[in-house]
Amino acid sequence: MINIEKTAIRAEMILKDRFMEIDSIRYQNQIKVLETMRREKLSESDFNYSSGYGYADRGRDKLESIYTGVFGTEDALVRHQLVSGTHAIATALFANLKSGDLLLSVYGHPYDTLSEVIGRSGPGKGSLMEAGIRYDHVEIMDHDKELVKKLALSPKVCYIQRSCGYAPRKSLDIESISGIISVIKEHSPGSVIIVDNCYGEFVENLEPSQVGADLIAGSLIKNPGGGLAPCGGYIAGRKGYVENCEYRMTCPGLGRKVGPSLGHTREMTMGLFFAPHVVSESLKGALFCAAMAEFLGYEACPPSSEKRTDIVQAIRFKDQEALISFCRSIQKYSPVDSFVVPFPWDMPGYEDKVIMAAGTFTSGSSIELSCDGPLREPYTAYFQGGLFYDHARYALVKAFEDMSK
């Protein structure tokens, strides 16, 4: 039998320099967050509770100013009323598209739940297509030539998904996103560029908003919430487009002026302060996962040698039984609900049954250690998160020991 602990030590040895690179990026991002909070004069009084309509909630507005500074944008919305990353992205799309407009997904189809928002799958009620918005996409194969061809249609919105989702493709790093944005601006300068930034915040030194994206959006129970935000989402970008989003988020005439903090401002702000460190811990866990998988004969996507742009690590298995077993092992070594055995189920918004291991303090938080995957070929587990590298290392060693048996 393979000695899994010796394999783990070997993996850490080859990752030593990569871990140092992650620490360097973490430091730069941490200083960026700290200096923005200092510049905005964040105060204890900003954490006061508001209820009802939430008029004149100074702490809520201060947090949005901090997000604006950190992401290098003109404006931002940061609200617990945005219930997920999909909700934040859908808000950005609906706010900046109207009947007859074309939405172009420029790097393959979007992930499962956003497909329902578009109307490509699911019942279609309330979808973009039902609202008269047209949709097209650019195939990843022969991407550059097809992108220029589709841009000739003058899409109103070009959508870029940074992370791979459940698709067997590479996630897009900032350099690649910058290149795609340059092509869009050259061939369709009137298009609004919206980037799904989920899983990518603070992984690199720059964000998509700093290389030309008009809007970025994501979830606070992923990277920017730092494991402390109990819920919420954000949208950041050019002022006019964010303003469209605020009126879609609530209603015309009210926009961002309403929306009580209900006492969440402290957790959401402190989570952002923690985020660069927590993301670096998650990244180290993802790299360790890739190296371990490779040593043990599994296919890791991306491989441990590749540059990282998100916290998601995919591992491909030969059959669904192996996928289910791996996810169950991750659940078994979680701090919450370790005794629970996950089963595949018809999760809302997904076309196939999904198994999800998430023994997390915040339900569904994927900046905390979690693992999931759809029951379809190729049978792939998507491992992400980890508030502490030590937890990710321990859980992975135990999971691979279980697999070896």
pLDDT tens figures, 306-318: 999 999 999 999 9
| Cα–Cα distance for residue pair 225/367, rounded to 1 Å | 8
pLDDT of 1 reads: 65
- Residues sharing a CB contact under 8 Å with residue 193, sequence separation 6 or more, in sequence order: 157, 158, 160, 181, 184, 185, 212, 213, 214, 215
Token look-up 């172009």 returns 104
pLDDT of 388 reads: 97
What are 316's strand-pairing partners? 299, 380
| Cα–Cα distance for residue pair 88/81, rounded to 1 Å | 10
pLDDT of 350 reads: 81
Q: Which token pair is 386? A: 């980890």
Query: Tell me: the pLDDT tens digits for 85-136?
Result: 999 999 999 999 999 999 999 999 999 889 999 999 888 899 999 999 999 9
Q: Residue 261 in 3-state DSSP? A: coil
Q: Residue 402 in 3-state DSSP? A: helix
Is 4-28+273-404 a domain of CATH 3.90.1150.60? yes
| Cα–Cα distance for residue pair 296/404, rounded to 1 Å | 9
pLDDT of 332 reads: 97
Query: Tell me: the pLDDT tens digits for 22-58?
Result: 999 999 999 999 999 999 999 999 999 999 999 999 9
Q: What is the mean pLDDT of residues 245-259?
A: 97
Mean pLDDT (the chain, rounded): 96
- Strands of the sheet with 380-384, listed across from one edge: 299-301, 313-316, 380-384, 370-374, 354-357
Q: Residue 356 in 3-state DSSP? A: strand
Cα distances from 202 to residues 242, 250, 285, in angstroms, run 21, 29, 15
Cα distances from 213 to residues 65, 146, 158, 234, in angstroms, run 18, 20, 10, 15
Q: What is the mean pLDDT of residues 391-404?
A: 96
Res. 347: pLDDT tops 90: no
What values do phi and psi take at 88, rounded to 5? -60, -45
Residue 292's closest CA among 3, 5, 7? 7
Residue 342's closest CA among 330, 352, 146, 350? 330
| Cα–Cα distance for residue pair 175/189, rounded to 1 Å | 20
228 close to 50: Cβ distance less than 8 angstroms: no
What are 27's strand-pairing partners? none
CATH assignment of 52-260, given 3.40.50.800, 3.40.640.10, 3.30.1490.190, 3.40.605.10?
3.40.640.10
245 close to 199: Cβ distance less than 8 angstroms: no
Q: What is the mean pLDDT of residues 273-290?
A: 98
The model's confidence at residue 251, banded by pLDDT at 50, 70 and 90, is: very high
The percentage of residues in the chain with a pLDDT greater than 90, rounded to a whole number, is: 93
pLDDT of 333 reads: 97
Res. 351: pLDDT tops 90: no
225 close to 199: Cβ distance less than 8 angstroms: no
The domain limits of the chain are 4-28+273-404, 52-260
Res. 165: pLDDT tops 90: no
Compute CA 242 distance to the chain's CA centroid, rounded to the nearest angstrom: 19
pLDDT of 33 reads: 98
Cα distances from 292 to residues 16, 142, 311, 383, 388, in angstroms, run 14, 33, 16, 13, 18
Res. 358: pLDDT tops 80: yes
